[in-house]
Structure 1
Amino acid sequence: MAMLGEITHVTTYRYARPVSFGTHRAMFLPRRGACARLLDWSAKTDPASKIHWVTDARSNVVTVMEFGEPSSALTFTFQVRGVFFGIKGIESFPLDARADQVPVQYSPDEWTDLAGYLRPHADDPDGNLAAWTKSFVSGDQDETTDVLRRILRTFRESFSYQSRETEGTQPPGETLLTRAGTCRDYAWLMIEVLRRLGFAARFVSGYLYDQALDGGAVGMTGSGATHAWVQVFLPGAGWLDYDPTNQINAGFDLIPVAVARHPGQAVPLAGSWFGDAKDYQGMSIKVAVHKIGDISDPSEA
């Protein structure tokens, strides 16, 4: 199945008086390939900037913006139109036998390519993260898909989603202790759990399509903003999406933009400004993902 959709992503920073700006870098273009075909896109800023595009070491597209004049407001407007593909469910991809049970058995070549996604990144000084990780397996032929669904269900039933103004991602140990956080916090904690279970897992930043928003309602947590989730590499299927915030792992609801070993490598928008700290008056973000129509033949777009 495929969806013809439009994404509009607007971020505005406000200041008490004109300030100057350093280089800003944005990640907003969906990753092209099996999951998306982009038809049109644009990046605009107010005040105007010099814009160029680069790719990072993980093949994420980065928009680089250089500013020349001060302003009391800074607005970024990113727009994308494209065809987004989805699958009916993980069962659509039969796994290799070596991926049926935990721990997954990766080949030597896979180990070499996936090394950065297999090693835990966060510290666990009190051992709470390791202990919680063990609760998802019995140690006796646990099926991979059952363990993954168990983790998703635990987030859905035992954690409280909490948005916050401060930027960044909190440590996995803090998310586990408080049983609360944002989609980025959930994803980072799930990744650290998966890596301790022997899975190759990576952080994904992107957009969430919420069908309910097309009708004026809100159906899924985290819609109306950038979103974050997890991809797990399973032999026979490849990289598969798992969203601990909404307990989904299929369809075209998840539109990936950037993949990374850790959240700091997939920041939707980052940059600097120069002025008095008290001049900063806050920011606003508005993200809209709308379906224009369904497409049975992507060549129709």
Structure 2
Amino acid sequence: MRILHRTEYRYDRLVSLNPHRLMLRPRDGHDLWVDDALLTIRPRAELRWSFDTFGNSIAVATFADATDSLLIESELFLRRYVTDFSFKPDGAHICPFPFDYTDEERRDLHPYLGLQFPEDADILDQWLEANFVDRPGGAFHFLHSLSDSIHRSLTYSSRDEMGTQTAAETIFRGLGTCRDFAFLFMEASRRFGFAARFVTGYLNDLNAGRDGAADAEGPVGGGATHAWADVFVPGEGWIEFDPTNRITAGGELVRVATTRTPSQASPVSGSYVGAGAVFLGLTVSVDVSEAERLP
């Protein structure tokens, strides 16, 4: 598939751009192969690549020229492969719930286990008691049911403002974006002893209905970056859950980066300097198409 992610900032006069941090290139794995990755930036920028503490590919762009706009265009050609966890036969490899991580797993997973906002624990527990009623015995099906409960009980609503609501804020408001749903799922999973992390990437709505469990009317979150969560299940590894669309480990989810918190997963971040300059706006578009990189 081909993914074109275009971000454009506009200013009312010339400004000097401070270094910008870009999190736009996925890492290859057995489930995601990157055939090619192209990055176009105007004005011209010097790039320095590195890995962050989570192993994500990070590019820092530095600029020499003043400008009244900034265009960042990421073009990816990749292949996505999916593991179907739903139809595995019962057996010793199936993780029960409740469960225990091994001592070694717990040491490795420690940063992903505790609530990011411990003060939300009581509110979260009350909401789970009222809304998360169906609790199957297997860990995978338990988490799948939790994702369904969030999807069913809350209303999706897009929001232009940056940032992610806390679990308590999403519960009180009864609505949220994909980032809010993903974070609520993470905090709820952690409340039951699971290690969970935040995932940012894209929604391949061309695959709607082919795998996973997106709603019949089609998934929401396309046309921009998307967010969901990973949970570590013993014997199965990290499994993706998208409560916004009721997708579990589906080909619709195209991972770019994983982090401990939502705030660490911004695709583009940076600032500018300009006396009296006014930021006029930001335009973001994501286009997914069934195209392959030609040799």
TM-score with structure 2 setting the length: 0.89
Secondary structure of the 1:127 match is helix
Alignment of 1:180-191 (within 5 A): 180-191=175-186
8 A Cα contact 1:225 1:285, kept in partner: yes
- Give the superposition deviation at 1:272: 0.9
For 2:4, give the aligned amino acid.
T
1:48 alignment partner, one of 44, 47, 54: 44
Distance 2:178 2:73 in 1: 23
- Which letter does structure 2 place at the counterpart of 1:145? F
Q: Partners of 1:272 and 1:133 in 2: how far apart?
A: 40
Q: Counterpart in 2 of 1:149?
A: 144
Contact 1:124–1:130 at 8 Å: present in 2 too?
no
AA paired with 1:282? G
TM-score where L is the length of structure 1:
0.87
RMSD in angstroms over aligned alpha carbons?
A: 2.5
Q: Deviations over 1:14-34 (max 9, x none)?
A: 111111111111111123111
2: CA distance, partners of 1:202 / 1:237:
16
1:1-301 paired onto structure 2 within 5 Å: 5-92=1-88, 99-102=95-98, 104-124=99-119, 127-135=122-130, 142-211=137-206, 219-275=218-274, 279-292=278-291
What amino acid sits opposite 2:171 in the alignment?
L
CA 1:101–1:206: 2 relative to 1, 3 Å: same
Do the aligned partners of 1:211 and 1:219 also contact (CA within 8 Å) in 2? no
Matched length: 286
CA 1:111–1:194: 2 relative to 1, 3 Å: same
In structure 2, the CA distance between the partners of 1:149 and 1:140, relative to structure 1 (3 Å rule), is closer
Distance 2:271 2:91 in 1: 45
Shift, 1:212, TM fit: 6.8
Q: Which amino acid is 1:105 matched to?
A: D
Q: Distance in 2 between matches of 1:277 and 1:182?
A: 33
Where structure 1 has 5 or more consecutive residues not aligned to the other structure, the ranges are 294-299
1:165 Cα offset (Å): 1.5
Residue 142 (structure 1) shift: 3.6
Q: Once the 2 structures are TM-superposed, how far is the Cα of residue 155 of structure 1 from its aligned partner?
A: 2.2
* Contact 1:93-1:236 within 8 A present in 2 as well: no
What residue in structure 2 maps to residue 297 of structure 1? none
